[in-house]
A and B are shown apart, each in its own frame.
Chain A
Amino acid sequence: MASYTTHHEEGHEHHLVPVRVYSWTLVALLVLLIVTVGAGFIPMPIWLGTVVALAIAMVKTYLVMAYFMHVKFSGKLIWLFAAAGFFWLVIMVIFAYADYITRPWEPVPGF
């Protein structure tokens, strides 16, 4: 298949997203902002607070990317690019943290 003929499958359809989609996204983001601030003040272990804050931030990021940045209405290729950056960041974090987290397990410190 020539690339010219596949544009419509891969790419961005020039259709307009209804205004209410944007408005509800904003409302959801503001609600999540309040939730994340509130969660910061609920007494809980620090690690749990971090996990909750990160989870909320990820949901917010999803909303912004899916609706404001139109990923939800775009083709697979855009979706792939949108995911690639975060996926690679996660790879970096997992492998680097694998070092820090496993260091205490060594039989002798600084093995």
Chain B
Amino acid sequence: MAMQTVAQSESKQINYLNWKTTVASWLLTYDHKRIGILYLISISLFFLLGGLAAALIRLELATPKGDLLTSDVYNKMFTIHGVLMIFFFLIPSIPAVFGNFVLPLMIGARDVAFPRLNLLSWYFFMAGAFLATVALLRGGIDTGWTFYTPYSSSFAKGEVSLAIMGVFLAGFSSIFTGINFLVTIHKMRAPGMTWFRLPLFVWAMYATSLIQVLGTPVVAITLLLVAIERSLRIGIFDPQLGGDPILYQHLFWFYSHPAVYIMILPGMGVISEVISAFSKKRVFGYHFVAFSSLAIAIIGFLVWGHHMFSSGQSIYAGLLFSFLSFLVAIPSAIKTFNWMTTIWKGRVHWEAPMVYALGFMGLFVIGGLTGLHLGALATNLHLTDTYFVVAHFHYVMVGGAIMAYLAALHYWWPKMTGRMYPQSWAKLSALLVFVGFNLTFFPQFILGYLGMPRRYHSYPEEWAALNLLSSAGASVLGFGYIIPVIYLVWSLKYGRIVTERNPWGARGLEWELVETPPDPHNFERTPIVTRPAYDYGHPEEPTGFVPKPRPVVVGGKDG
């Protein structure tokens, strides 16, 4: 009883944020939620840096002449943009931030299976990021994010090997996260949380982790071989020394094509969560959506050769890869149609996460369908290395993955911070991102079709209007990304305080059984799950329950 009085006088409830507050308690934490926050802060920084590089690129391309940046600096800019955005933002984005934060909550676990490995993965990430940043500061590199040989191994000046080691370390950070999540999903599910009761985000994370574990080591060793070739001049990839540059492309894309699915699959998982939560309906065709994640992960490994149609790869291998590339469209379409059917006849709530999710669907469909143009051998030869490719993968990776990332951020923000952001600003920024994005990248489809090659800092006058449009759109897009940064940071101090567990009225253990913000140990006891995910049809039945109340109740709203 005495304790209860103390608790009431001190109104603040104990949660993972205020439990311990020293810097060391953050840097040495094994708590998956805190590690998620560490990742959130670090990748936001790289998103900012990569975004600045993108801004310079679009500024240069606003006019046909190369008047702002020299070609050399321009090359370094798009390399910085690519390396930072792909290896240090997109790949860790949803898995490392939201996977870490919500995955154990969703399956009713106290933590991931290997908390120390989890922290280690963040340190590997930071070490890799440090090396890459040093390489960029010491003059930068101009190989492009693909590090294509023999340019990267024999000719490129600058700290290529250092950047490669940075990517190598970040790769192992990704592998550790993958191993951790695989084991967590297999072994840490609460009693009653069967495979087909899992939220679809967990299925998506499982598929993502498979790719991380199966694919990343190959790119790690390949980049290591490039670094060895650079220092010892062994002709592994340089044809002048007897090597084979196409082998590099095979090994590189064996990972880097599935890596696209590392970026988009978790996004698809987020969209399943958000669409269902704001339509107040179970995801239509749960099993199909779940298995389509696995299908994308597996088929995604068999299509890498479509990046190499014009490289000198055998035409017969090209045929095979082209055919298999078309197969990936099937599970992706299954997902899209099932989301649409989920919304259909649902009670749609137009909250900010939902607006972002709808933006994802629009942009992802365009990105996915233009992928078919590139997967077809004949059209690919016309479109290879043009802005059509640039537009296509930005539609998938920015329009898809980053939209989903923002949807996730807005969806779980109240749970993570205990604060609510201003809805109207959030919806406005979602709209700005959608409009700005289309304005930036849709003209690039046309430019690419007209034959404008990528990776040049100047271009003929005839493409000036479309490029100007694209650069104008980029500035709108930039505003769309800056506004959330401002109001989210603002909300940390001034936003409406959220104390209820379930501000969205969503289903799932992380909303129904976990405090806002979560307790350091997530659940008082391991919960028991009794209902499938998204059981909106039975609002009176909770998804699960925590077996026994604690003997002494302290603090909080149940105090």
Q: Which residues of A contact B (CB under 8 A)?
A: 1-5, 10, 77, 84-85, 88, 91-92, 95-96, 98-103, 105-106, 110-111
Contact = CB atoms under 8 A, between A and B. Distances in A.
Contacts of A96: 247, 250-251, 254
B457 interface: no
A91 B301 contact: yes
Given A77-B186, A88-B214, A91-B302, A98 B191 contact: no
Contact of B218 (A4, A92, A103): A92
Interface in B232-267: 246-247, 250-251, 254
B542 interface: no
B305 interface: yes
Interface string B312-329: 111111001100000000
A95 B191 contact: no
26 contacts: A2-B191, A2-B193, A3-B190, A3-B193, A84-B214, A88-B214, A91-B301, A95-B304, A95-B317, A95-B320, A96-B247, A96-B250, A96-B251, A96-B254, A99-B305, A99-B313, A99-B314, A100-B314, A102-B314, A102-B315, A102-B316, A102-B317, A105-B316, A106-B314, A106-B315, A106-B316
A111 B214 contact: no
Given A91-B302, A96-B250, A105-B316, A4 B214 contact: no
Contacts of A4: 191
Interface in B464-506: none
Query: Which one of A3, A10, A99, A102 has the greatest number of beta carbons of chain B within 10 Å?
Result: A99
Contact of B189 (A2, A85, A101): A2
Given A92-B254, A99-B305, 16 more contacts: A2-B193, A3-B187, A77-B186, A85-B214, A92-B218, A95-B304, A95-B321, A96-B250, A99-B314, A99-B317, A101-B314, A102-B314, A102-B316, A105-B314, A105-B316, A106-B315
Query: Which one of B186, B187, B189, B218 has the greatest number of beta carbons of chain A within 10 Å?
Result: B187
Which 6 pairs between the two chains have the least Cβ-Cβ distance? A2-B191, A102-B316, A99-B317, A102-B314, A103-B314, A3-B189
B422 interface: no
Contacts of A88: 214, 301
Contacts of B251: 96
Interface string B189-202: 11111100000000
Contacts of A77: 186
Interface in B381-427: none
Contacts, number: 60
A1 B195 CA distance: 9
Interface of B: 186-194, 214, 218, 246-247, 250-251, 254, 301-302, 304-305, 312-317, 320-321
Main secondary structure of the interface of B (DSSP, over half): helix
A2 B250 CA distance: 42
Nearest to B254: A92
Nearest to B215: A88
Contacts of B188: 3
A93 to B, nearest CB: 10
Nearest to A106: B315
Nearest to B247: A96
A1 B305 contact: no
A106 B246 CA distance: 17
Contacts of B191: 2-5
Contacts of B316: 98, 102, 105-106
Nearest to B185: A3
B113 to A, nearest CB: 11
Contacts of A106: 314-316
A92 B190 CA distance: 36
Contacts of A84: 214
Contacts of B320: 95, 98
Query: Which one of A85, A96, A110, A111 has the greatest number of beta carbons of chain B within 10 Å?
Result: A96
A8 to B, nearest CB: 13
A26 B329 CA distance: 49
A103 B186 CA distance: 43
A55 to B, nearest CB: 25
Nearest to B107: A3
A98 B187 contact: no
A84 B294 CA distance: 14
A99 B190 CA distance: 46
Contacts of A101: 314
A92 B313 CA distance: 15
Contacts of B189: 2-3
Contacts of B315: 102, 106, 111
A2 B218 CA distance: 35
A91 B303 CA distance: 11
A110 B312 CA distance: 6
Contacts of B317: 95, 98-99, 102
A77 B188 CA distance: 15
Nearest to A7: B187
Contacts of A98: 314, 316-317, 320
A110 B247 CA distance: 15
Nearest to B244: A100
Query: Which one of A3, A5, A85, A110 has the greatest number of beta carbons of chain B within 10 Å?
Result: A3
Contacts of B186: 3, 10, 77
A1 B189 CA distance: 10
B315 to A, nearest CB: 5
A96 B320 CA distance: 11
A84 B298 CA distance: 12
Nearest to A87: B214
A33 B315 CA distance: 41
B284 to A, nearest CB: 26
Query: Which one of A4, A77, A105, A110 has the greatest number of beta carbons of chain B within 10 Å?
Result: A4
A85 B215 CA distance: 10
Contacts of B192: 2
B4 to A, nearest CB: 33
B118 to A, nearest CB: 19
Nearest to B210: A84
